[in-house]
Structure formats: C-alpha cells, structure tokens
Structure 1
C-alpha cells in the first residue's frame, strides 16, 4: 500500500524576495525586486500557478548582497491581504522575538487572513546580526534548545488557557491568550537546519522541517533519520527541501544560466558568507550543520539550492521532483532568478507535469 506521502500531491513554496539581492550572491541581472508592489504581484502569480506556500525571510542587518530588508511578519500580512488561498510563512528569530509577542501577532494575523499564516522558527546562523542589535549569541546546540522552548511555548499559548511553562529561556504563569488562532490545533510551525540538534528538535516539536538543498541520497538520509526519531517520539513531521529552480526550454539554456550566475558571483561576498555560515554549520558538535560541507559554488545560492539539481527542462525537473517525493519529501521550497516570470513558467510548464507523473504512479500503485 502506498504511504500517505505518496498519496498526497507534493506541495510547492517559494522564497519571498523581501530582501534586496534576490537569492544569489551574484552580479548577474535579476528582474526581481524586494519592494511590496513587486511582491504583491508575485504572490498572486504564485497562487494562480499552484503554489501553496510562500516563505518570507528574516534579516535584521545588511550583508552578503542583502542591503535592504523588510520585516517578515508585517510583510507576510501584506501578502496575505493581496491573496485568497496562499499561505504565508513568516520567519522569526528567537531572541529578538519573545514567544508571547509572536503568538499574539500570529493569532491576530490568522484571524485577519482567514487562517492562512504560519511561522518558520530560525535558530540563527548570522552571529554579526545578533551582536549588532545587542542580542546574546548562544552556542550551536543552545540555540536549538532555546528554539525548542520557544516552539513549546507558542504551542501552549495557542492551545491552552492558564498556560504555565518553566524553562531555562522562557517562563509563563497562568497566561491566557484570547482570541486563539483560527487554525486548529494551531498555525503550522516550520523550522530549518541539518545538524543533529536541528533534526532532533524537529522530531519532537515541529510540524515541518526544512533542509538545505542536497542530493537525493543526502536528503533521503535526513528524511529517514527524522521520520524514525519522530515515530519513536510519537510525533510526525513533514519535510521541505530547498531548491533553486532554473527551468528553460532546453537543458543547455538552463545550464548556461547556472554557469552565468556562478561566473558573475561576487567573490568577496561569497567568501564572507562562506566564513559566516560554515562557522555556524561546523559549530554543531558533529560538524554536520547547514553549509558545513558546502563549496564556494554551492554558496553562491544562500541555501545550497543548486545541489538539488532542479536545473534543466520542465520534463527533467518534474521527474526529479517526483523522485524527491518518492524518498519522502512533502514540499519543495523554490528560489528563482527572475521570480515573477519564472514562477509563472513553473506553474505553466513544470507543475502540470509533476501532477501527471504523480497520477501515473498512483494508478500504477
């Protein structure tokens, strides 16, 4: 009998370009803008194209090509007001956010949007960002321990009255939030990471786990690990994978775009980004965190999106997406060079092929 993952259509999300510079550290031309008018139109295009989710980014300071940044929760609300079915995931950082503030913000937006908001808990990779705003920088596993308390706290606030919690980072005493969110039992909670601490946290408390781009074999190892641990914990978690999509009419065209992105990369910015994120990734005790084994070429795209290899013709990309689904991936989190036109192209030329392949495999099963 097919698994529930095989029976459910794979879902699609896109990175909201609410920070300048797009999703690559390159001087290649990008017909992508971080402003609200561009992003409102993009959200409507994505919704019409068949995307279920959009993920707004959280950045507090400039760096690595991202000179300007809009705040994620406010921006997410604006996109929700411009759409009718798209669910927007607002990225937040424990430390700058307190769980009570976040829980109340999201509960209100959930009512205003008809139950279409979610959160992505980012444990933090940019040390300079924390120190610049006077936030204490915790060691790797401590950041995930704080994030787990954060998630347990917002879940409790959203689902219980007279909520009590005694943690090392957060404490609550008979706290009741009203109104509760519309979504039951609560808005979806996403998190990212590749380290042992990140995967273990997902297996205990998160609804969704985002991993950086990787090979099918690398992703499968993470999926199997998380699912086994979650099952042992009596928990279930869905898996999302980062991918930078370059879909063109021919494979040669797609690869030419990839080569141009890398050839026009900003080497100083890539090296600075590499130093920052690899310090964060290798800081995990086992040295297996995000970016720990990324090459400089991988890091031209912030989240190792080239590694997932959704680069080629619509047919090639659709086949690779279904292969990801086959190993247990529930969602593909996409980035693009020219967001508006490429999201539309993806919706017209790639997504129908994915659905066709899914239907064929379902019938065969």
Structure 2
C-alpha cells in the first residue's frame, strides 16, 4: 500500500511539473504573439500618419492595450481547466484504488494474527471481485483449521485422560507392595510414564502456539540434572567437562529440559561408549561415538524424514522438537561429525 501511495505521489508531482512547464511555454508563446500584433498595429498607424492627403486619412487606430501576460490570463483558461480535470481524475482514481485494496490490508493483518496463533478470525467480505473471493476462501480455510485444531485437542485430551487412569492405578499398586528393589523400580517407571504424559501435553501446547515461554535464568548444571532425572539416568553416564564455567542461560525450564533430554537420549541410545558433554561460556556440545548422519537428515526444520519412515528405532521427531524449542528461545542447534564423533552444539547467542 505504501509503494502504491508513493507511486501516485511521484506521478502527481511529475504531471504537475510538466503542466507548469507547458503553462510557462504557452505564456511565452502568447506573449510573442502579442508582441507581433503590437508591432503590426504600430506599423499600420505609422503608415496612416504619413499619407499625402491627410484630409482623407481615416482616424488612427486606438493605441493597443498595455502588454500584461500572466499565468492567470484568460487566454490560458482552457489549459487550467484541462490541468485541474487531470488532477481530479488522478486523485479520484487513487481513492478508488485505495478503497479496492483496503480488503488486502485487512487480509494481511488477519494472516499475521493467524501466524501468531489466532484462528478465530472472520475477515469482512465486501463486493464480488477477486479480492473478495480470496477473502472468502481464507475465511473458509480458517474455519476448517479451527475445526481440525479443536478435534486434535479433544483427541489428545481423551488419550491423556485414558492413559492417566491406568498409570495412576499402577502407581498406587506399586505403593502397596512391600519395600524392595522391585517396588522402587516400578515406582520410578510409573513416575516416568506420568511425566511423559505431562511432556506430551506440553509439546502439544507448544506445537499449537499456545505455550508462552516463562523465561528465567538458570544454571546449566541444574537443567542438566533435571534432564537426567527425566531420562531416569545419572550424570555419571556422561563425561562432563566445563562445569566450572558456571554457564547461566535464560530459558523456560521445562521446555529447555525437554530439548536437552532429547539430545542426551540420542547420545545414550546410539553410542557404545560414554557420551561427552562440553560446557563452554556461550555454548554446550553433546558428542557421542557414531556414524555421521546422512546429509538429508542434517536439516532439523521438519519431522518425518523419509529415511526414518521405515525405521523401527524412531521417527526422527526428537531432533525436530529440540530444534523447534531452541529456535523459540532464540538459540541455534548445529551439527558436525569430527573424528568419528557426532556432535550437537547448542549456541546460546
């Protein structure tokens, strides 16, 4: 819209400038014609004054009016009329174009709001032109997306509710058993399953854009402890270096722990040796001994890479979720393979 306005302003200035040049030209031409007419009148009067028989000499013509040519002269009135008509036509066309394009401005704002998660939109429809048809289709698409989103939310709520009941019963049953190593193992398993349900709910809200980050400053070692608790593993399973750096990052505790847990889980799952964690001043690097990732799997912008579709070990969602969470925080996830090690680096700046 601003480019169209700028274009019309430039056209308006150009046309008025050309008109002013043309008006000056016509004024000078008119002035030259007036000078010629004055010259001929004076010449005729001189001839009459020198006639041999002044008795029959007609009266001399009246003196010509004083020469006064301005831009407001009546002779230039038709040019002024044409100029004003052109200006009014341009302004009327500009107003008409703005009125026709105003639905596009509303549609753009609706798309921006939709991108931010607001699917309950209804852009007003005026007229029956192409823009109105696009707006109508956009409203129809939003209605379908809202219905699908509500259906998905209902489906997930039902799944979480149905799973929570047997997990709760299993946890209560484990509490009723005699104290033993098996009882502790069962309690940890049911606690882990209960946490996973909460994690599924969190990821659903995050992926739908409903999760608002609760950013606070935390020590990375505390986040690492929480991620290990989620995995039901110990920090002893990793070779940790750089804890003394005291790295502090501003994150959403639960979301960042999920992202970190996914990286730690992959490092443990796909390595026969102890993975390493290197904590630096502005980054964290998690490495494990393994073959390099295929080139097509080194992009984490989308889930369900084709090489995962027939895999029995996973669908490749973990790295996609981790990448999405880090991107939401303004962090970056980088991958490289060096000396037989798969390394994932979290850049916090």
Alignment TM class, shorter chain as reference = under 0.3
Normalising to structure 2: TM-score of the pair? 0.21
Which structure would you say has the larger RCO, counting Cα contacts within 8 Å and 6 or more residues apart? 1
Q: Which has the higher helix share?
A: 2
Structure index of larger Rg? 2
